[in-house]
Amino acid sequence: MKVSVTSEPPEANNTQDTLIGMAPLMTFAASGGDLTPLAESLLKHATGPELQPGAIMDLSVMIELFGRRETARTLQEKALRLKQLYKLPACRRPAIRLLAIKRTGPVAANTPLEFLVAGSDIEVHLLYLGPGLRVPTELPEHDVMFVAIGGSDESLPSLRFMERMAPAWPVPVLNLPERIALLARDSVSGLLQSIPGLVSPATSRVSRLSLERIGSGEDPTEFPIIVRPVDSHAGRGLIKMESAAAISDYLRIQPEEEFFIAPFVDYRSEDGLFRKYRIALIDGLPYASHMAISDRWMIHYINAGMDKSAEKRAEEERFMDRFDQDFAYRHGNALQNIARRIGLDYLVIDCAETRDKQLLLFEADNSAIVHAMDRVETYPYKQSQMRRISDAFRAMLLKASRRGSSSS
C-alpha cells in the first residue's frame, strides 16, 4: 500500500460529500506548506449561495490546525446540519468499503484512521454522531463498520448509543464501543494489573477537593506523583509533583474538577535519557510507530529533538528494523495480554521500559495518531514501517469483510 506523503498542496473538492480529509491537510501543513490559498478556496464553497458541506468540513479541520478551535467547532456543526455522511474515496477500485463512526468534536476526539487508509483501495464513509444526530435510515453499502469514536467522558453518550446498535449491525463491527469505553486511564490501569512483565502504574480518578486534601496533608500520599486533568492528552495539564506543596500552585492554574493521579516511575536508561515508544496493536499484533528520545521525562515526539539529532534518528531506525526480533519479542507476552484484555481490534499504546527492562505503560488509546507525515529526506526509514502498519490495518479489514461475506 502506498503511504501518502507529499509536499504538494491538496486540491479543493466541489462535491457535496467528498472530503480532502485530515491526512493530506495535516501532512501538507507538517511539511511547512502554506494552507492559506486552499483555505480561501474552501471558504468560497463554504459561504457561497450553494453551500458545500464537504468544503465546510475540510475548512473546519484547517481552522483547527490554525489553533482556532471554537471557530472550527462552529464550522463542523454547520456542515453536519447540512450533511451527516462524508466520503473519502479510494485511490483505485475499492477492495473494501468501510463505514467509520465518529463523534462530533475536535480531530483528536476520534481514531485518525484517515492516515491508515491514505493512498489505498479502501473507500471510507464517515458517519458523525452527536447531540441531535442519529444513524440515518439509509446508509451507503459497506463491508465493515469501524467504531472510530475515541474513549473519553464526552464520548460516552455516543459509545453507549453504538453499544445498542452494534449487535444488530448487518456487517462485522470492529473496535466494539463497550471496549472503547474501558480506555479511561484508571480503567486501563485496573484492567492490566497482574500482567507478567508489565508495569501499569495504579491510576486513581480524584475530585478537585480530594486533590486539595492531598495538598493539605489530610490524605497522606507517597510522592512523586503524576497529575493531569481527566480527558487531557498531549501533555496538557500534565505535571510531576515532588511534594504536596506543589498542589495548591497547580490548582490555581488548572480549572478542572477531576484529575488522574498516579505514582511517577523513573524510566531513565543507563545513559540518563528517557525513551518513549508508540506501538500500534492491530488484530492483536504489535507494530512500531515511533520512538522518541529526550533528556526530559515528559516526552512528545515533536519536542524530543529528533529532527536535530542524526544519532537519535539512527537509534529509532534500529528500533524499527529490529522491532520484531527485539522489543516485540522481549515484551511479546505483555503486548499480547494488553491486546487481549482491552479487546480492541485497533489500539495504540505509549510505553517505555523500566530500569529492570519491564514494559512500562503510559497510555492505551484508540485515538492516538499514527502517521507518515515526517519528512522523507529526514526520516527515510519511516516510510516502509508506516506501510507495514497500513497494510496490517487493511488486512484486518479484509479479514473482517470476508468473515461477513461467509456468514451472509
Strands 144-147 and 96-103: parallel
pLDDT in tens, 49-106: 778 899 999 999 999 988 899 999 999 999 999 999 999 999 999 999 999 999 999 9
Residue 352's closest CA among 404, 304, 405? Answer: 304
Cell of 302: 515533536
In the chain, which residues fall in CATH 3.30.1490.20? Answer: 202-263
Task: Tell me the per-residue pLDDT of 341-381, one tens digit each, with 9 for 90 and over.
Answer: 999 999 999 999 999 999 999 999 999 999 888 889 999 99
- Judging by beta carbons within 10 Å of its beta carbon (0-12, 13-18, 19+), is residue 34 exposed, middle or buried? exposed
pLDDT in tens, the chain (408 residues): 444 444 566 666 556 788 998 898 888 888 788 888 888 888 887 777 778 899 999 999 999 988 899 999 999 999 999 999 999 999 999 999 999 999 999 999 999 999 999 999 999 999 999 888 888 888 999 999 999 999 998 999 999 999 999 999 999 999 999 999 999 999 999 999 999 999 999 999 999 999 999 998 888 899 999 999 998 776 788 999 999 999 999 999 999 999 999 999 999 999 999 999 999 999 999 999 999 999 999 988 888 899 999 999 999 999 999 999 999 999 999 999 999 999 999 999 999 999 999 999 999 999 999 988 888 999 999 999 999 999 999 999 999 999 866 665
Q: Which CATH class is domain 202-263?
A: alpha beta
User: Are 349 and 364 within 8 A, CB to CB?
Assistant: yes
66: cell is: 490554525
pTM for the whole thing?
Answer: 0.93
Q: Where in the chain is the domain with CATH 3.30.470?
A: 184-200+268-365
Class of domain 184-200+268-365: alpha beta
Find out whether 37 and 50 touch, Cβ atoms under 8 Å: no
